[in-house]
Amino acid sequence: MISGICRLTSPLDKPLLRLFPAGAGAYASANTALKSESADASLFAGPDGASLLYSGELYNYKELRRELESSGCRFATSLESELVYHAYARWGAGCQEKFNGEWAFARWDEKNKSLFCSRDRFGLRPLHYFFDGKTLVFASGLKALFACPLVPKAPNPQAVYDFLVLNHCNQPEETFFEGVRKLGAGCCMYFTRPGRSLTIRRYYDPACNQELGRPDKKALARHAAEFRGLLEDAVRLRLGGSEPLGILLSGGLDSSSITCLASRLLAKKDRPPTFSIPWPREAPFIRASSAAAGFPRCEVTPAGFKAIPWSEVAALARAAEKPVMDASVLGEMQLIKAAKRRGVKVLLEGSGGDEMLAGYPERNFTVYLNQVLRERGVAAFSAEFKTFFADRLGEFGVEGEPGPEFYKCFLRTQSCAPELSEFFVKETVNRDLLGEYAGRRHPLQRGPEFNLQQVLKRDTLALGNELEHLIPFRFRLPLLDHRLAEYAFSLPACYKLHGGWTKYLLRTAMTGVLPDQVCWRKEKVGGTAPVSVWKDFMKRNRRELKAALSGRKFYASDFINRASVLKNFDALFAAAIAPGTTDISGLWRFVSLELWLRENLN
């Protein structure tokens, strides 16, 4: 955890400085105060009057240190904050391009009265801030930010609207608190004299190949070998360190690839455990990958989910920095707890592959087929259609991406729900969803980049940060090594989607490493619990769900029409648990928002 405050127009008030007491990991001057408060955070004060506050992990620390030492740098400690300090002194803001890892750091230059902040390429480490025009307050966690009395604590109506109506948990640079923002993934921030202005610049924006391309066997073999080499090195870097580690194994292509490559890299005596939930459709693939790797297997049995108490929902609402989208996060918690019981503190995990390599067939194949038809003609279209779509017409539409009228109709329908406050809906400006697609000649190719920089960061990775507040542990994500992402983005679409297969490049690269039944598995299920599990959870906790909405004080009254929700509770509950229902999040979102507001605004 890191936090700081900076004011360039005048000295900081004494009550503000008292929030940053003198001691190890703290720095204070007339204009700035900095503090580090966790094991993976540190502060380094250099001889030139600059101080660097840092939280993160640099997987290429050893290589960078050797490079800096060879250029004359002398290190006084082994702290990563000192390495970042010297890297900035040597390369300036260009040091960000040298780092391979995850970080959030702030550098204060006392001589020039300037502050520089940076967040890693994919936003794996959070950095929140509040700026009132004079004073900048920043912290890696929201609770540390709100320790400063200058920061107001009020819900952000736009974020609540996105959550209730659009089913988005948050946006890449906004939070659920009005006026509090996040430094975007791959962005840096300057707060300097003489203008005393706050400037944000994107330093990372990987180029993306816009072409469909034509598959070539020799080129495919070359690309697959290069991709596997990069992935293997990404796994190698993230296996380092002295802390006990494990691997989250779902039975899917991504986590299985990480598991089997780790097995090749580690000595026979180093056998980290894998952690899995063997749902019936996943169990054979989990066990095949674990057996191929030769790692001990730790399984959280599906039967254990029946014992999850409602108290864990309340604990999650207290720890989370935003309302929780659905109950599936409780399943993630069971895996993390199992890892903690085994003494594991670091978990390798497979997020990122679907976004880089077009792994979501329902999002990508219709767009892909449209382009195949335009560029290669009917014969090629027919061949691709038969290999993928012929048996899936009930699963996906064939019309391509939804058009403007679809989104307008969707917003009108969702916004008219009687459970939402009428004033709230009228006063909240609807985002123009179509803007996300404007100017994108090839949505398939732009889509993965968009997912990595926005969707993945605001949902999957934020989830890890929330659970970290509850249970001390860290995720490492080899598939989000920037070298791997950039290589994937550089390739035409034909190497990602081909012959009816998603993630074709990764499948080709891992042939002979993974069991064939895992490598060439067409069904995509994922490691999350089946919807039936969460329906059972809601049935067991029907009374608690209703009680959460029936408290003496209703914190979500600005957003939710409580009278309508309680009047229609039986119908909403019946719809959530009905046979065939795949989305149970409607009623859950009302409860989640109320619990979160109660815990965070009370």
Tell me: pLDDT of 431 over 60. no
Position 83, amino acid: L
Both tokens assigned to 107:
């550098």
Mean pLDDT of 162-179: 84
Which range, 259-263, 376-380, 442-446, has the best average confidence (pLDDT)?
Answer: 259-263
Of 238-242, 252-256, 336-340, 444-448, minimum mean pLDDT range: 444-448
Tell me: pLDDT of 441 over 50. no
- Of all residues in the chain, the percent with pLDDT exceeding 70 is 81
The interaxial angle of helices 217-238 and 482-490, nearest 10 deg, is 170
Give the Cα separation of 485 and 172 in Å (integer).
19
Give the Cα separation of 193 and 110 in Å (integer).
12
Angle at 558 between CA 544 and CA 459, to 5 degrees: 65
Give the Cα separation of 223 and 146 in Å (integer).
48
Contacts of 299 by beta carbon, 8 Å cutoff, 6+ apart: 275, 276, 277, 278, 286
Tell me: pLDDT of 525 over 80. no
Of 400-404, 480-484, 532-536, minimum mean pLDDT range: 400-404
Tell me: pLDDT of 346 over 60. yes
- Look at residue 409 in the predicted model and tell me its pLDDT: 52
- Look at residue 423 in the predicted model and tell me its pLDDT: 62
- Look at residue 329 in the predicted model and tell me its pLDDT: 77
Both tokens assigned to 2:
């890191």
Residues 272-282: pLDDT tens digits? 999 998 888 89
Residues 373-407: pLDDT tens digits? 666 777 777 776 666 655 444 444 444 444 445 44
Cβ–Cβ under 8 Å, residues 169 and 187:
no
SS3 call for 282:
coil
Residues 560-588: pLDDT tens digits? 999 999 999 999 999 888 887 766 678 88
Tell me: pLDDT of 468 over 80. no
- Look at residue 154 in the predicted model and tell me its pLDDT: 94
Cβ–Cβ under 8 Å, residues 124 and 480:
yes
Both tokens assigned to 528:
């999350």
pLDDT band at 357 (very low <50, low <70, confident <90, very high): confident
Mean pLDDT of 493-513: 90
Answer with the residue of higher pLDDT: 432 or 235: 235
- Look at residue 363 in the predicted model and tell me its pLDDT: 59
Residues 536-559: pLDDT tens digits? 888 999 999 999 999 999 999 999
Name the residue among 122, 130, 124, 110 with its Cα closest to residue 189. 130
- Look at residue 20 in the predicted model and tell me its pLDDT: 87
Answer with the residue of higher pLDDT: 40 or 426: 40
Mean pLDDT of 292-299: 94
Mean pLDDT of 477-500: 90
Tell me: pLDDT of 491 over 50. yes
Residues 3-27: pLDDT tens digits? 999 999 899 999 998 888 877 789 9
SS3 call for 100:
coil
Of 96-105, 108-117, 175-184, 334-343, minimum mean pLDDT range: 334-343
Of 132-136, 189-193, 400-404, 440-444, minimum mean pLDDT range: 440-444
Give the Cα separation of 310 and 302 in Å (integer).
17
Give the Cα separation of 58 and 166 in Å (integer).
36
Tell me: pLDDT of 135 over 90. yes
pLDDT band at 34 (very low <50, low <70, confident <90, very high): very high
Cβ–Cβ under 8 Å, residues 249 and 284:
no
- Look at residue 168 in the predicted model and tell me its pLDDT: 76
Peptide bond between residue 194 and the one before it cis (omega within 30 degrees of 0) = yes
Residues 504-518: pLDDT tens digits? 999 999 999 999 999
Both tokens assigned to 164:
């209730």
Give the Cα separation of 521 and 18 in Å (integer).
58
Tell me the pTM.
Answer: 0.87
